[in-house]
Structure 1
Amino acid sequence: MAFQRRDIPDFAVNILARGTLGLMGLLPYRARVALFGRFFEHIVAPLAGWRKRVRDNLAYVMPDLPPAEVKRLERKVANNAGRSLIEIYSGEEFKRHAATMPITGPGLEAMKTAQAEGRPVVLVTGHFGNYDAPRAALIEQGLNIGALYRPMRNRFFNEHYTKSIAAIGSPVFPSSRKGQVEMIRFLRGGGVLGFFIDNHVGRGIEMDFFSKSAMTSLSAAQMALKYDALLLPVWGIRGDDGFSFEIRTGAPVQHTDAESMIAELTSQLEEITRDHMEQWFWIHRRWKPEVIEYHQRKRAAAKTGP
């Protein structure tokens, strides 16, 4: 694609971001992760409006949360986000580090059994802790794990971003038509594929998360049902030291119907978030009441007719 005048802002942002990441890469791993966490906590969060987003989300779903806890989460959520970003961009160092972390829960043996039988596996996680730590750790266990990702709007930075996530493990599939075709081929061949369940999806269904409706995709469960894949949750829980992780795998979810299966997984995400409030990405616009209201009005109009 030819370079055009309108590409100048994105190109400039790409140069700045890659330069910052490159400079950070000169630091020792632990110093780099700690510094980037503080950088996001004290500089990026206030400039990007993240503190307000955290406050707004918490006020919407947990209005009785003490102000001191809200203030703590404003800082700690951004710190975790910064650490997660620089960890992903640390490539092989992060991969080696994650590979040494303990893997708990019944999911690992279930995955290994499925892989030995040639049965596909669908992993579900959320924007929690470091969501790429499980992928890095499980690849070291010999599992053939692919990931679906949403390309960044900045096409210059997206090239670098794609290379960084692929360095942790391949294959990775963009959420494009071609990427989805390749993803399905990989899954049908007995691969392990990771999905998020906490993205806002305009064409999803309404599902409660922290007792408030949020538009939610059923894709992970639909894939599991269609291709007879094992469906289970996995979480990369950051340790109190800010560097270590517990890779927690859940029991496989029983195949029933897609909505019930995703509701169960969403409930598990809420439970683990309540245990580690600072590790879920409260900077996301997970809840969009205006979208929910639109769908409710549309349903009401359809019932009453012209």
Structure 2
Amino acid sequence: MALNAYIAVTGLLPVRRRLALTSLLVRRLAAPALGWYDRVADNLDFVWPDTPAKRKREIAERAIDNLARALIENYDPAEMLARGAAYPVTGPGLPVLEEARASGHPVLLITGHYGSPICARAALVARGYTVAGLLRPMSNPFMNARYIRNYREVGEPVFEQGRRGTIGLIRHIREGGIAAVAFDVFESSGTLIPFLGQPAPTALSFADIALKTDALLIPYFGIRRPDGFGFDAVIEDPVPHGDPLEMMTEVTRRLEVRIEADPGQWMWTHRRWKPKRVAKYREE
């Protein structure tokens, strides 16, 4: 109820002010209460232990700012589509994607929680692409209903993670469709792949789907601009088909390159590594 009230009130503000206000409130009130600054520091200590304290704080501020903006902009799909039409889609993989759409060749776009992936998807939808989405449901059923509705309003179809959703996603891709997914979450049953120098359990399922459907596996990124409002949707070269582990290792490497270039855009608040669980996983 509180969130709905906040969305309704801030929805009266111009979008730039809405994003800036949400960022300020999350950084100063919500993030300290939820321990997000400590979590970012712990993650940075784990992968980049020599990072100076001042630099860690800068990365945390930017990462939480980006997260706050992404959270609130998801509640205005119409504005997101309008912004998507206004900002560019570029990258070496764009001609490949355009050719695949024209010929009906299946495509699996893959990204991480970097910048604004949903804005990048909106940019493609605004240009006439049909890009299916795969999302992980929220645990709160009331927030989840609106979250899914917003995602659908950006563009259909949308599949929820799980057996039924995965079957629907595979069917959509196999029929020559385009889908967008994010892979950089802790997967307890996944394969350990080095990520920023530390092993991170990673699902190989997206590579498997690409192989089974003969889909192009194309990394893409929605890179937020310094003003916190604009963004660039960048389509990279496809990852060659081969061994699923090698494919997801390459996808991970592409994300690493982006994070190393601009670490404040990645979602450092996420428990990507969980060192104790990884140690237990190795023992087993």
Q: TM-score range by the shorter chain?
A: over 0.9
The correspondence for 2:136, drawn from 150, 154, 161, is: 150
Q: Across the two proteins, how many residue pairs are aligned to each other?
A: 284
Flag as ranges the 4+ runs of structure 1 deviating above 4 A: none
Amino acid at match of 2:141: R
Equivalence for 1:3: none
The answer to whether the 8 Å contact 2:84/2:126 transfers is no
Equivalence for 2:278: 292
Amino acid at match of 2:186: H
The correspondence for 1:262, drawn from 241, 244, 248, is: 248
C-alpha deviation, 1:142, in angstroms:
2.1
What TM-score, normalized to structure 2? 0.97
Equivalence for 2:90: 104
C-alpha deviation, 1:140, in angstroms:
2.0
Query: CA offsets, 1:26-82, max 9 Å, x none?
Result: 111111111111111111110111001000000110010111111112222111101
The correspondence for 1:51, drawn from 13, 23, 37, is: 37
Amino acid at match of 1:23: V
Does 2:24 match 1:38?
yes
Amino acid at match of 1:151: P
Measured in 2, the distance between the counterparts of 1:32 and 1:200 equals 31
Q: For the aligned residues, what is the CA RMSD?
A: 1.0
Partner SS state of residue 170, structure 1: coil
Equivalence for 1:22: 8
Measured in 2, the distance between the counterparts of 1:98 and 1:142 equals 11
Measured in 1, the distance between the counterparts of 2:205 and 2:26 equals 32
Does 2:257 match 1:271?
yes
Equivalence for 2:124: 138
Larger CA Rg, structure 1 vs 2: 1
Equivalence for 1:223: 209
Partner SS state of residue 272, structure 1: helix
What TM-score, normalized to structure 1? 0.91
The answer to whether the 8 Å contact 1:125/1:195 transfers is yes
| 1:1-306 equivalent positions in 2, closer than 5 A | 15-298=1-284
The answer to whether the 8 Å contact 2:170/2:213 transfers is no
Amino acid at match of 2:138: M
Measured in 2, the distance between the counterparts of 1:176 and 1:124 equals 18
Query: CA offsets, 1:117-152, max 9 Å, x none?
Result: 221100010001011011000112222100110011
Unaligned runs of 5+ in 2: none
Partner SS state of residue 132, structure 1: helix
Measured in 2, the distance between the counterparts of 1:169 and 1:42 equals 33
Measured in 2, the distance between the counterparts of 1:161 and 1:227 equals 29
Query: CA offsets, 1:275-302, max 9 Å, x none?
Result: 111110000000011222112211xxxx
Measured in 2, the distance between the counterparts of 1:231 and 1:193 equals 10
Unaligned runs of 5+ in 1: 1-14, 299-306
C-alpha deviation, 1:266, in angstroms:
0.4
The answer to whether the 8 Å contact 2:115/2:265 transfers is yes
Measured in 2, the distance between the counterparts of 1:150 and 1:254 equals 27
Identity of aligned residues (%): 39
Query: CA offsets, 1:132-183, max 9 Å, x none?
Result: 0110001122221001100111111111111111111111100122222221
Measured in 2, the distance between the counterparts of 1:228 and 1:199 equals 24
Amino acid at match of 1:45: A
Measured in 2, the distance between the counterparts of 1:99 and 1:57 equals 35
Amino acid at match of 1:265: V
